[in-house]
Structure 1
Amino acid sequence: MNVKIARTLTTAAAAAAVTALGFAVSASADPALINGTYAVRGGDDGAMVTASSSCPAAVNGCTANLRSTLGWTSVATFTDGRWNFTVTKPNGVVCDDGSYAAVRIAYSVDAATMTGTVTADSNGDCPGGQITQAPFQLIKVG
């Protein structure tokens, strides 16, 4: 009878240790670096983005160089679990007066899920626009 109790307690202690270790590992795991090639879903649908970072881990202040198949480049900065970057498209919109203006698009991506938001002014630098925000995702393909 004592052997049965001892085995039960040992099994319970081992299970608790594994559970605690699992929480410790997941709590201390570093967020993902943004290295590789990603397909964009939302925002610039159909675009591919190649990212490269020389940081040893994703920590505040880490940066990654981004290059899109649509021709834009940017630098993403890691801050509080998110990769943030801005893309400027010169002459990206035609204003009401017929002139061209730049469009600045801000992206914020959760490092764990690679989902985030894209924010832009509907009129770019032309007067009278509205700030819009939409979801998007980076899907690792290489």
Structure 2
Amino acid sequence: MVTVIRWLAAAVLFIGAPVGLASPAAADQPMEGSYTYSEPGRPQATWTFSPTCVPVCPVSSPECTRPFGAGGPSGCTLHMSSATAAQVNRDEREMNFGGTARIVNGMWGLTTPKPEGVQCPDGSYALSTDTYAFDDASLSGTHTVTWTPQCGMAAGMTKTPFTLAFIAPLPAPVTRYPLQCNQFGVCR
């Protein structure tokens, strides 16, 4: 009886271990293409991503079955540009920017300064630091705005959720791996 219980316990641990130890879901390929950015209270924008990657292990190596490490495209950065249909008001102008997103704690992250990011009590605008963190599997994220004490305001922070929706692939092919790596992991 004890042997059967031990065998069943071992079977449960063996079968359940991959499920319990699995890392959060991540795409096998980095994001690429155009997406609609939607956030409550802000104009919609088109975010365009173009990835650049460095193999975590040499692609030519027989041991390299995936050019990514565990958990997705850890050797990649996303070059991102954000654009609105018009730039008539401050909100639309603030949604036109670009930057480079990197994986941080399993999420893509991008930080950019916004010259007119927060409104002061007198109606003028002041500098903010905006951070966008998003998951490429769920296409959702958080927009965090922080500011220092300025123009009569105390330092502060806001967090707002946003979503992304795929629109189209990039018009031209992208070379994700511009570097050539040898069997020793030396890239050029």
How high is the TM-score relative to the length of structure 2?
0.51
1:134 aligns with 2:164: no
* 1:14 corresponds to: none
Change in 2 beyond 3 A, CA 1:82/1:89:
same
Structure 2: segments with no counterpart, 5+ residues = 1-18, 56-67, 84-94, 169-188
* 1:86 corresponds to: 111
Identity of aligned residues (%): 31
* 1:38 corresponds to: 35
CA deviations on 1:47-70 (whole Å, 9 max, x unpaired) are: 111110022654335211111114
Cα separation, 2, equivalents of 1:82 and 1:112: 10
Structure in which a larger fraction of residues adopt strand:
1
* 1:74 corresponds to: 99
1:64 aligns with 2:78: yes
Q: How large is the RMSD of aligned CA atoms in angstroms?
A: 2.9
Q: CA deviation at 1:95?
A: 3.0
Question: How many residues are aligned here?
Answer: 116
1:105 aligns with 2:123: no
Question: Secondary structure of the equivalent of 1:141?
Answer: strand
Return the structure number with greater relative CO, CA threshold 8 A, min gap 6.
2
Question: Secondary structure of the equivalent of 2:73?
Answer: coil
Question: Following superposition of structure 1 onto structure 2, how do residues 3-22 of structure 1 map, counting pairs within 5 Å?
Answer: none
Cα separation, 2, equivalents of 1:102 and 1:80: 27
Q: CA deviation at 1:138?
A: 1.2
How high is the TM-score relative to the length of structure 1?
0.66
